[in-house]
Amino acid sequence: MRRLFFPLVLTVCNVFLISCAKNHGSFAFHSVDERRFTEFQKKNYIPGNFNKYTSPIQFGENQTLWFAFQPGKISHEKYAISLSRKSLGWIEIDLKNLEIPKKIAYLIDNYPNLQAGKYLLTVALRNEILNSIEFEIINERGQRDDFIDYDLPINVVLDSDGDDLRDLSRE
């Protein structure tokens, strides 16, 4: 039994170390309010700088969200970019295929007019997810919509409601 256990543990540790050693890439963001831009400026605007964020990542509702993704190992194949919105789970709302331009080592794209809510941005290459990141779009006033996180247990969601049906019903 001991002879089988030690090689098994060693194999699992090696697989874990190899999978952690992969550099799948990193995200950076830039948000801009394009409401004052002319149509010409909107079509030709490319941000000059992107910022890396730590959780929680939040942006305003009336801003165009630009992202840059730098893969760990650059490939000039098409990358799949998926944007999902949280509602009873993650629902994919946009799917693109992008190539890295030969002059720069980043994927760059934008999402204008995102509604308030939680989003998941995922980058994949050859059916392998390289990286994904969650962010939230909040209202202009900085308030969140009445968003129910369906991943929470139902009693936590019900306990937070102000108008509990049990209080309003006749017994």
Domain ranges of the chain: 23-166
Residue 59 or 144, more confident: 59
**Does the pLDDT at position 19 exceed 70?**
no
Share of the chain above pLDDT 90, in %: 43
Share of the chain above pLDDT 70, in %: 68
Could you give the residue ranges of the DSSP H alpha helices within the chain?
2-21, 39-44, 154-159, 165-168
pTM: 0.68
Q: Where are the beta strands (DSSP E) in the chain?
A: 26-32, 58-60, 64-70, 78-86, 90-99, 107-111, 117-125, 128-138
Q: Which CATH superfamily is domain 23-166 in?
A: Macroglobulin (MG2) domain (2.60.40.1930)
Residue 67 near residue 121, CB atoms below 8 Å: yes
Structure tokens at 83: 């944007």
pLDDT in tens, 100-125: 988 888 899 999 989 999 999 999 99
pLDDT in tens, 59-97: 988 889 999 999 998 888 899 999 999 988 999 999 999
pLDDT of residue 35: 84
What is the side-by-side order of every strand in the sheet holding 64-70?
Answer: 26-32, 64-70, 107-111
Name the 3-class secondary structure at 88. Answer: coil
Q: How far apart are alpha carbons 68 and 158 in whole angstroms?
A: 39
**Does the pLDDT at position 130 exceed 70?**
yes
